[in-house]
């Protein structure tokens, strides 16, 4: 069988990623479509997906690019949204410390919320699992589907007449991402405060298209404060 050519834990990781891919593909398609709606070319949309590979920050950056925000604002917003990856990396480090620096770099590139959660959950219940192959099986499955999905979305988006518009797609995707993430008081506070601040600053108006960065920072701060308060 073809699977016998690969490490069994790599294959196990690919299989574990199966249910996750069902939700990733539509998200990737909409990201590609939205990129075209924001004025990116098909090549730029695909290149962004290859370089950034981070759904929420890609969408935020696309929104800011479509609003002609300054480059530093786009980059800064993406960094703020992806700060959680630093915590994920610190949590994964003990499991992958035996790997070479090159392989840890590869693992960092394909790190996502889903790959992190699924891998750590498996590590904590199965000591016999080979860490790196299992993680890469999940992470690269997500990477491949994401790249294919965003490329298809970009091609589809390029075929949509300008008169129809694609502005509706981005708010709907962010709403779909937000609601499942509001699992406890901290995340709920972050979502509500971030949304309220986003509405307020959009109404008042701020320079340099800083609406989204201000809202994101406010939501993160609110979540941290609520979590810290709950621990006291």
Q: Indicate whether 17 and 108 sit together in one domain.
A: yes
> DSSP letters of the chain?
-GGGGS-HHHHHHHHHHHHHHHHHHHHHHHHHHHHHHTT--HHHHHHHHHHH--HHHHHHHHHHHHTT--HHHHHHHHHHHTTHHHHHHHHHHHHHTTS-HHHHHHHHHT--HHHHHHHHHHHHH-TTS-HHHHHHHHHHHHHHHHHHHHHHHHHHHHTS-TTT--TTHHHHHHHHHHHHH--SHHHHHHHHHHHHHHHHHHHH--GGG-HHHHHHHHHHHHHHHHHHHHH-
Q: Do 26 and 123 belong to one domain?
A: yes
Structure tokens at 185: 């008081």
- Considering the domain architecture, whether residues 31 and 67 belong to the same structural domain is answered as yes
Q: Tell me what pLDDT residue 1 has.
A: 44
- Is 50 exceeded by the pLDDT of residue 157? yes
Domain extent at residue 197: 182-232
CA 132 to CA 110: how far, in whole Å?
12
Same domain as 150, residue 104: yes
* 18 and 124 together in one domain: yes
Q: How far apart are the first and last CA of the chain?
A: 56
Do the domain assignments include residue 172?
no
CB atoms within 10 A of CB 217: 16
Q: Note whether residue 104 is domain-resident.
A: yes
Instruction: Please check whether residues 223 and 152 belong to one and the same domain.
Output: no
pLDDT of residue 169: 54
Same domain for 157 and 198, yes or no, is no
User: What tens digit of pLDDT does each residue of 32-65 get?
Assistant: 988 888 889 999 999 999 998 988 888 888 888 8
Domain count, the chain: 2
Residue 73, in any domain of the structure: yes
Whole-number pLDDT of residue 224 = 81
- pLDDT digit string (tens) for 67-103? 888 888 888 888 888 888 988 999 999 999 999 999 9
Name 128's Cβ contacts closer than 8 Å, sequence gap at least 6.
Answer: none
Task: Please determine, for residue 165, whether its predicted confidence score (pLDDT) is greater than 60.
Answer: no
**Do 58 and 135 lie in a common domain?**
yes
Is 171 inside a domain boundary?
A: no
* pLDDT tens, position by position, 99-149: 999 999 999 999 998 899 899 999 988 888 899 999 999 999 999 999 999
| Cα 11 from Cα 161, distance rounded (Å) | 42
- On whether both 138 and 187 belong to a single domain, the answer is no
Contact 64, 215 (CB under 8 A): no
Q: Which residue, of 106, 139, 165, is where some domain finishes?
A: 165
165-170 own/partner pairs: CB under 8 Å, 24+ apart: 165/37, 166/33, 166/34, 166/36, 166/37, 167/37, 169/30, 169/33, 169/34, 169/37, 170/34, 170/37, 170/59, 170/62, 170/63
Q: What is the pLDDT of residue 101?
A: 92
Question: Which band of pLDDT confidence, cut at 50, 70 and 90, is reported for residue 179?
Answer: low
Note the pTM of the prediction, 2 decimals: 0.74
pLDDT at 119: 93
Last residue of a domain, one of 133, 165, 197: 165
What is the reported pLDDT for 176? Answer: 54
Dist. CA 68–CA 39, nearest whole Å: 10
Separation of alpha carbons 123 and 130, rounded Å? 9
pLDDT value for 183: 72
Is the domain of 59 the same as that of 125? yes
Is residue 158 domain-shared with residue 187, that is, in the same domain? Answer: no
Does some domain include residue 175? no
Residue 181 has pLDDT above 80, yes or no: no
In a domain, 177, yes or no: no
Lowest mean pLDDT among 2-6, 57-61, 89-93, 195-199: 2-6
Task: Kindly state whether residue 176 falls inside one of the protein's structural domains.
Answer: no
Is 170 contained in some domain? no
Domain boundary (165, 200, 223) is at: 165
* 186 vs 99, higher pLDDT: 99
Q: At 2, is the pLDDT very low, low, confident or very high (cuts 50, 70, 90)?
A: low
pLDDT higher at 182 or 181:
182
Same domain, yes or no: 142 and 190:
no
Examine the pLDDT at 27 and tell me if it is beyond 90. Answer: no
């Amino acid at each position: 069988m073809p699977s016998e050519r690969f490490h069994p834990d790599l294959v196990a990781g690919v299989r574990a990623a199966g249910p996750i891919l069902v939700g990733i593909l539509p998200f990737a398609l909409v990201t590609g479509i939205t990129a075209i709606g924001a004025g990116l070319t098909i090549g730029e949309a695909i290149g962004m997906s290859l370089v950034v590979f981070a759904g929420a920050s890609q969408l935020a950056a696309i929104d800011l690019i479509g609003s002609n925000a300054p480059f530093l604002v786009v980059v800064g917003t993406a960094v703020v949204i992806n700060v959680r990856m630093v915590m994920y990396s610190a949590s994964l480090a003990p499991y992958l410390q035996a790997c070479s620096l090159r392989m840890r770099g590869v693992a960092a590139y394909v790190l996502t919320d889903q790959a992190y959660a699924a891998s750590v959950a498996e590590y904590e219940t199965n000591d016999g699992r080979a860490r790196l192959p299992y993680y890469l099986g999940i992470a690269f499955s997500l990477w491949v589907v994401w790249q294919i999905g965003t490329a298809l979305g970009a091609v589809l988006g390029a075929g949509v007449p300008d008169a129809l518009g694609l502005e509706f797609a981005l708010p709907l995707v962010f709403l779909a991402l937000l609601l499942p993430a509001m699992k406890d008081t901290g995340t709920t506070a972050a979502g509500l405060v971030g949304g309220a601040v986003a509405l307020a600053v959009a109404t008042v108006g701020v320079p340099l298209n800083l609406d989204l960065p201000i809202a994101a920072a406010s939501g993160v701060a609110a979540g941290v404060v609520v979590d810290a308060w709950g621990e006291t």
